[in-house]
Structure 1
Amino acid sequence: MFLGSFGASYLLIFAYSASPFAWPRNVIGGHVIATFTGLVFMTLFGIQWWSMAMAVGTAIAITT
């Protein structure tokens, strides 16, 4: 579960370090927001396929 997220983050940090998306505030903040979004959905709705899909969609919508 962590490999995809870390792989994309490492690509941004090391390959495109001049990009605004690779700034530490954006990388760490995006992970924190996505984590809290996932935890909120898991707490409210449990571990269901649709709640995981909604959590991912909501995290993407919040961080963009």
Structure 2
Amino acid sequence: MAISEVLAHHEARAPKLRELRREAVLSMRADGVSYRKIAARLKVSLGTVQNIERGTCRRLGYEAPHQA
């Protein structure tokens, strides 16, 4: 398989993977899990978790809670 085929396949899957990560973050936040614990569980940065929640809250029209 050529690298261009691999990259094209990855680009096609990226939106779904981002959506799955967003759903996981929001689900864990709803259960009261801290940003740091979510980041550790998903193996992403703390900033990524915070950005996901901020972006979702912005879309829904309310401010994200502040927690480290």
Pairwise TM-score range, normalised by the shorter structure: 0.3 to 0.5
Q: TM-score, normalised by structure 1?
A: 0.45
The structure that is helix-richer by fraction is 1
